[in-house]
């Protein structure tokens, strides 16, 4: 297999859509999730993201990158307005429906109905989750960080509740996502199954890598 060294000037010369696909896929597999929101009039919205970031565990914080608001960003607007939203991991049976939420529907048309995914609510929480999602988080808005380099924004939320199958949690707290059929993505349109190659014990400088039993 021959190797390619691509210069920045060559990369910059790519057509815009080709460039987006090229870089998005080249950086490797990522999380994929559906973000559920509802506006002040209770109109629901659902959108797919591949930019979910684990910010910290204590308190439990998740970040999502939002593209520049040069067009209407219903999810972004709803989060800033209502302060509550859900993050829902995608399972293999829901891939096609989840992908469809990337289409630009008008604000008064819910992606739940358009995709066939069902909304479900936790009592007292404004935003809907995806009923068929194996793992969902309910978050409250904590911080909006503008990224001046490209006009994007990182929204950071704090998790208020978790929904998941109990049997995927192992004795040390590890969540075995492949057992829940959770998928990831490469680029903008390729969805991947998760599999665990190996788990290791906590790394220490005076010991070689040890396989976790």
User: In the chain, helix, strand, coil percent, each to 5?
Assistant: 20, 35, 45
The reported pTM is: 0.94
Question: What domain count does the chain have?
Answer: 1
205 domain residue, yes or no: no
> In a 3-state reduction of DSSP, which class is residue 170?
coil
In a domain? residue 30: yes
Residue 189 lies in a domain: yes
Residue 56 is part of a domain; what is its CATH number?
2.30.110.10
Q: Could you tell me what percent of the chain has a pLDDT over 90?
A: 93
Tens of pLDDT, residues 51-107 = 999 999 999 999 999 988 666 789 999 999 999 999 999 999 999 999 999 999 998
- 200 located within any domain: no
Mean pLDDT of 181-205: 95
Alpha helices in the chain (DSSP H): 8-12, 16-26, 74-82, 95-100, 111-115
Q: Quick check: 140 pLDDT over 90?
A: yes
* Residue ranges making up the domain that contains 95: 11-193
pLDDT tens digits, residue range 5-43?
Answer: 999 999 999 999 999 999 999 999 999 999 999 999 999
**pLDDT reported for residue 213:** 79
When pLDDT is cut at 50, 70 and 90, the band that residue 179 belongs to is very high
Residue 146 in domain: yes
Examine residue 3 and state whether it is found in any structural domain, yes or no: no
Mean residue pLDDT across the chain: 95
Residue 182 resides in a domain = yes
pLDDT at 70: 64
Report residue 83: phi and psi, to 5°. 70, 5
Any domain includes 121 = yes
The span from the CA of 73 to the CA of 47, in Å, is 10
């Amino acid at each position: 297999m021959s190797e390619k060294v691509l210069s920045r000037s060559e990369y910059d010369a790519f057509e815009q859509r080709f460039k987006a696909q090229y870089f998005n896929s080249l950086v490797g597999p990522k999380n994929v999730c559906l973000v559920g929101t509802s506006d002040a009039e209770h109109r629901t919205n659902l959108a797919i993201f591949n930019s979910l970031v684990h910010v910290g565990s204590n308190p439990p914080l998740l970040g999502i990158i939002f593209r520049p608001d040069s067009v209407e960003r219903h999810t972004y607007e709803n989060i800033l307005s209502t302060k509550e939203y859900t993050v829902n991991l995608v399972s293999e049976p829901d891939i096609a429906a989840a992908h469809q939420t990337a289409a630009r529907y008008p604000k008064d048309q819910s992606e739940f109905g358009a995709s066939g995914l069902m909304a479900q609510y936790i009592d007292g929480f404004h935003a809907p989750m995806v009923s068929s999602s194996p793992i969902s988080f309910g978050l409250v808005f904590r911080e909006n960080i503008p990224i001046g380099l490209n006009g994007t924004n990182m929204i950071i939320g704090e998790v208020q509740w978790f929904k998941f199958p109990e049997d995927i949690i192992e004795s040390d707290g590890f969540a075995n996502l492949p057992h829940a059929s959770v998928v990831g993505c490469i680029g903008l349109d390729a969805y991947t199954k998760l599999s665990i190659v190996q788990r290791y014990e906590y790394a220490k400088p005076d010991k070689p890598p040890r396989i976790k039993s």
